[in-house]
Structure 1
């Protein structure tokens, strides 16, 4: 039968058509049915004929399959999450904007899967881009995992901290030192092998300090002293083992920063402390180090002891014979302290004894100390401890007086209770002095006048160069004291016309006009007339003795300190020329052309005036570190000239600090340290401090050479046999 109706077709192939419709609706894909085969296998065309299916007839023709028709009949493939279950495809995920793409989490690209499906993903895994990204990610992962594995647990950290604290307790190490120890440990690259090979005990520590660190410091300093000019500051002291030690500090230029530095040179144990022995010990040390001190030594400073600075037989005089142009300076701080000490002798003796009695009475009994603290709590003031006046009285007396004045009412209340309930004779004596109407005005006066002296004293305890400030600072102090004591016209003539103040007693004010400070003057008004006169007389005698001592210990006619005063960076530009400096300091002009030096000074004045760069806090490096376009210093001769003044010392405070370190290290529990070991400790401490502390010190090439077995020869442990032992 050539033709048959579509009804016959549907009745015969109804199941086939239903399956096709279900497939179309479930996949939502467009499937075009062009022909359907009949019973004999021939194709029946469904696209032609009437729209009425009942009237439609099927045309027989042979099926023709083309490439285009195959493409149209294909279904587009979507990404399926089941694919990533495979370990090899775990790096893929669905692309967020298109279901026909997958996204690679390793190389961060999208891959089309619409035509190839899962095979496209497998092909992507072997591409060069994916392999490079996978290798890089693997390295990062391994590194992060290694860091995580190396990071210690909190328990291990706590255990390490516990052992360090136990070490500090076991060896009586101050807790403040543990803070620095932690910084040192953090700066070390410690691994297990290093810790196993670390061998550092008592003997090696002593050898490293002496033969490596201290030796490096000494060699570097000696090299600088051979090549450059320097000054020395010396002092002698006796330690707790009754050994006399001479300490020498060198003041030398730091060329990098154009500033002078105080460097510890050496400490020499001497049998006696006469001037000849001390001088011979210093010269012997210079000769051992091959230092030409006769040409390089420019300045000398020490305290006011006659053995050091005496006019006839002293260490200073012996060096003056060998170095005629050497500038000698008596310690300004010692001189000011002596001025205050002699002036305080004019004050009633009971005042200083009162300060000591108050301290001893409270501090000697924990019960009394607690009661005094309770009184401060009751009156709602911050609890403060009473200070003890030092025997040296450098700065301590002012601090003690100030503290007692701050708690004057509380002290009066405390000793009133002590007298009422304990009837202690010492408490009765202290309370009587506190209730004396003269006590508080005198304490207020001392608090005022001692602060004037100590402010100048603190200035010259500085490590900076203050040689050129000695004249102006001390003269200003003298002018202030004279202004409190003498008539104003005389003070103005003294300060402006540089008149001799030897006759100052002829110009003293009346007792009522003498200035004693604001607070003392207010309290003094409450005194009766007779006590007012006594109070003012005491203040007048204090001022008179203070002026005499200042005139005795500071020579304001000395051309050296007077001319050097013009070298202050703030006033240097006011000089018309450098003639006076050249005349006064001819030794500083060696190798310098005078005219060229003066020309540089004039150019500097023009530059400062033109640029208006001179400030109140201007320093020499700021003025003379200017360079040209060729990186050369613009004022080289001025630099060479000024540098000599910067190395001249102004006090011996730096040596006092050395002895403070000496006593802090050689204690009752460490009294077996010999003088050689102490000398090495002081040198090593200076080196470590100059290089930023223990956490920043580096092993230099010089230290590497010294770090060998021969370092034990420098410091044998046999040094313990000849030293004292604590029983």
Structure 2
């Protein structure tokens, strides 16, 4: 009777740190120290013990212990074990955590050792090794490619829009390329397709960047529904969007599909507020910047202001910062200045030699009235700007947002309303001074309206979009037809469109009231289109409309993320690493860190990539 042959057991790894299963088969163990296979058939575990007593093994073991870093570069012929994959999932989740929460790769050198110290009994922690080099490699070589492929998979064959902008990071000019699309499976998605640096921003260079990025990702320019950017001449050629030497025209010449221009409405509102405020008797922005500069990093000055607040029974609050490139952030500072007006006034007028511009400002009886009016007026800008900055905002809602804003400004102008507090303060002025300020306030409203009318051009956008919001259960074929004529004439000519509208109305009638009233338009369409495949024409129309952004705010968010990652303290980051961090941060934003750990644990391809060495390429 033949003896039973011994096979490799995973329990051996707990007793012997140097062994793993060999690729030669189940009856072999592989020694990681001396790179040799151990036959277990006859002796089993005893064969490993005998091997570990050999002179060859001991010599290699001393070298490994003396220089543990060799393990990083050691090419093992063993198959990864279960514990190896558990360690890989942990290292992948930790790298994701580093990217998601904007931590530095350098800090992972300490973190790895700290985790080992805190959890010495964990078998996973014993093998956990995710210092700066490895965590960077996992982000750039595993997670970022996965995020990119996931984004392209979600996009599929759907139509999409493109958005671009440029921003300087020290001497580097960065260009993100953002796409937006809608599908019944994932809803509206806004993702980053590419991030590159270019020496300048000519229209030809930007156009080549867009086209090359699309080609590299296997995307067709014919699928692009709209081009969104700020209203710079290089992007659109001016408010009338004429001329040939601009990005929009260059792209339009390369596609037969209708390309819709979206000059960022949020930028238009920002600029309108800035232009209108320039006609006020006082340059409030200069005053605000001067006040903030006066107190910045000046403890003694801040203490003086606190004392005046205490004496005048006012609540002291530190003044927030104002970003000149985002003009309406001025309102946050203006509100605080109004709250502590008297303490500020006493502080500056008590100085022996205050800045002349601030001395004159606080001595004038008109200053508080002007700044109070501006605060009241900027509140009208606040709501539409918040709506335009929402990622989930839908293009059919844009007209309502802008029209509501214009109505509010128009009502204030026609009613000569400048704010309730402003009206009370005006009563304290001489009549001629009060009338002069009222005329300037009226001019503020007029300039705002004129600027909006000049730069916001709804005639360039498709109309008859309201039905896509599904505000009621009845969709009119005539409205769908008119929209289709503007967006895709081929669909408008299809008789099947009428039948699809009839089928859609039947579906809408059968949706329970509580569901119909609760769900937003995006959710309604996801439910309708995911449950049926006989509305292909309507699906395409909705996908086109929902792919169009209402503003360029998401691209601005990308710049904020870059600034948070690529700080002065992290100035050694390469552009490739920054691009990977942003791809992970943006394209995997729906995942929490525990969810990412679960995903990696269940994905053999990701586990093998983390365990393997190709991630370092």
Deviations 1:246-282 (A, max 9, x none): 111111225334x211112110122321111111122
Q: Which residue of 2 aligns with 1:249?
A: 178
Q: Which residue of 1 aligns with 2:527?
A: 625
SS at match of 2:234: helix
Q: 8 Å contact 2:183–2:543 — kept in the other structure?
A: no
Q: Which residue of 2 aligns with 1:646?
A: 546
Q: Which residue of 2 aligns with 1:319?
A: 251
Q: 8 Å contact 1:213–1:687 — kept in the other structure?
A: no
**Deviation larger for 518-527 or 379-388:** 379-388
Matches of residues 255-654 of structure 1 in structure 2 within 5 Å? Answer: 255-257=184-186, 259-291=187-219, 293-310=220-237, 311-312=242-243, 313-323=245-255, 324-416=257-349, 418-419=350-351, 423-426=352-355, 429-486=357-414, 514-558=416-460, 560=462, 562-570=463-471, 573=474, 575=476, 577=478, 578-586=480-488, 589=491, 593-604=496-507, 606-607=509-510, 611=513, 615=517, 618-622=520-524, 625-626=527-528, 632=532, 638-654=538-554
Deviations 1:178-219 (A, max 9, x none): 9xx99x989x99853322322222221211110100011112
Superposition deviation, residue 225 in structure 1: 4.0
User: C-alpha separation between the residues in 1 aligned to 2:300 and 2:175?
Assistant: 44
Q: 8 Å contact 1:373–1:383 — kept in the other structure?
A: yes
Q: 8 Å contact 2:190–2:391 — kept in the other structure?
A: yes
1:602–1:304 Cα change, 3 Å: same
User: C-alpha separation between the residues in 1 aligned to 2:264 and 2:225?
Assistant: 16
Higher relative contact order (CA 8 A, sep 6+): 2
Superposition deviation, residue 636 in structure 1: 6.3
Q: 8 Å contact 1:351–1:439 — kept in the other structure?
A: no
1:682–1:611 Cα change, 3 Å: closer
Superposition deviation, residue 615 in structure 1: 3.8
Q: Which residue of 1 aligns with 2:578?
A: 678
User: C-alpha separation between the residues in 1 aligned to 2:495 and 2:523?
Assistant: 20
Deviations 1:24-70 (A, max 9, x none): xxxxxxxxxxxxxxxxxxxxxxxxxxxxxxxxxxxxxxxxxxxxxxx
Deviations 1:477-499 (A, max 9, x none): 1122222224xxxxxxxxxxxxx
1:226–1:687 Cα change, 3 Å: closer
User: C-alpha separation between the residues in 1 aligned to 2:297 and 2:569?
Assistant: 24
1:696–1:370 Cα change, 3 Å: farther
SS at match of 1:425: coil
User: C-alpha separation between the residues in 1 aligned to 2:284 and 2:444?
Assistant: 14
Deviations 1:450-496 (A, max 9, x none): 1111211111000103211111211221122222224xxxxxxxxxx
Q: 8 Å contact 1:226–1:290 — kept in the other structure?
A: no
What TM-score does the superposition give when structure 2 sets the normalisation length?
A: 0.74
Superposition deviation, residue 579 in structure 1: 2.5
Superposition deviation, residue 289 in structure 1: 2.2
User: C-alpha separation between the residues in 2 aligned to 1:713 and 1:623?
Assistant: 43
Superposition deviation, residue 551 in structure 1: 0.3
Give the number of equivalent residue pairs: 500
Deviations 1:59-82 (A, max 9, x none): xxxxxxxxxxxxxxxxxxxxxxxx
The CA RMSD measured in Å over matched residues stands at: 3.3
SS at match of 1:465: coil
1:290–1:620 Cα change, 3 Å: closer
Q: Which residue of 1 aligns with 2:556?
A: 656
User: C-alpha separation between the residues in 1 aligned to 2:458 and 2:221?
Assistant: 28
Deviations 1:396-428 (A, max 9, x none): 111111111111122223334x23xxx1232x6
Deviations 1:257-310 (A, max 9, x none): 4x211112110122321111111122222222222x233222221111121222
Superposition deviation, residue 600 in structure 1: 2.5
Superposition deviation, residue 707 in structure 1: 2.3
2:111 is the counterpart of 1:209: no
Deviations 1:661-689 (A, max 9, x none): 11111122221222111111111222442
User: C-alpha separation between the residues in 2 aligned to 1:641 and 1:273?
Assistant: 33
1:373–1:445 Cα change, 3 Å: same
Where in structure 1 are there 5+ consecutive unaligned residues?
Answer: 1-167, 487-512, 715-727
**Deviation larger for 514-523 or 618-627:** 618-627
Deviations 1:612-649 (A, max 9, x none): 87548743323661599xx6478665444322211111
Superposition deviation, residue 546 in structure 1: 0.8
Q: Which residue of 2 aligns with 1:9?
A: none
Q: Which residue of 2 aligns with 1:63?
A: none
Superposition deviation, residue 563 in structure 1: 2.6
SS at match of 1:673: coil
Q: 8 Å contact 1:441–1:520 — kept in the other structure?
A: yes
User: C-alpha separation between the residues in 2 aligned to 1:255 and 1:189?
Assistant: 45
Q: 8 Å contact 2:175–2:196 — kept in the other structure?
A: yes
1:519–1:635 Cα change, 3 Å: farther
1:185–1:607 Cα change, 3 Å: farther
1:282–1:611 Cα change, 3 Å: closer
User: C-alpha separation between the residues in 2 aligned to 1:634 and 1:406?
Assistant: 60
Q: Which residue of 2 aligns with 1:239?
A: 169
Superposition deviation, residue 379 in structure 1: 4.1
Q: Which residue of 1 aligns with 2:21?
A: none
Q: 8 Å contact 1:475–1:556 — kept in the other structure?
A: no
Q: Which residue of 1 aligns with 2:27?
A: none
Q: 8 Å contact 1:208–1:711 — kept in the other structure?
A: no
2:604 is the counterpart of 1:701: yes
Q: Which residue of 2 aligns with 1:140?
A: none
